[in-house]
Amino acid sequence: MLSQVLPVFIPSAFVETGAWPGPYETLRTRQVALAWAALMPDDAVRYVLHDMQREWEERGIDWKTCAMQNLRERSAEPLATGALLRDNGEVWLISLMHSDGLGPSRLLLTEELERLFPNGYRVALPERSRGFAFASDLDLEDADTIDNLVQKCYRHGDRPLSCGIFWPNELLSATPSSTT
């Protein structure tokens, strides 16, 4: 099962009550949290529970590193499922809406995104199954396009996550030891 475990973003409200049944990290955005889940047959998702975490850690398994490696392996080139290009052919926006439902998780692949956006980028996670990364040096028209797209996806999505637009470092853990 460890070979199927991947990082997933969930609404912070899921963990704020303290009843979340597995490990998670509160992120700097405070609007979303990071949890882990295994993709099962028939598109089922099984969240990592505390007993699974304990078992792996007792066996000396760095399960979070394994989850990131699993994500990289599932994220072949091209990383995006869609893109918008500038007149010169440069990518200024990518959409991450993969068939596995974990498009936003790919926003954790910072090395890949930094190569795609060498002058910096921002991210949005309007739905639990859809994310965006886009150049940070947008003109007003493109910035308005992004804002409208994110708001529309958030309002009309099946599983809304956040209507915010973030810097990549806001998807990092708020505190190094926040795994619960």
- Condensed to tens digits (0 to 9), the pLDDT of residues 71-90 reads 999 997 788 999 999 999 99
Q: Does residue 178 surpass a pLDDT of 70? A: no
The predicted model gives 126-141 an average pLDDT of 96
Mean residue pLDDT across the chain: 92
Q: What is the pTM of this model?
A: 0.91
Domain segments of the chain as ranges? 2-74, 82-170
Per-residue pLDDT band at 175 (split at 50, 70, 90):
low
Share of the chain above pLDDT 90, in %: 83
In sequence order, the 6+-apart residues with CB closer than 8 A to the CB of 160 are 11, 126, 127, 128, 154
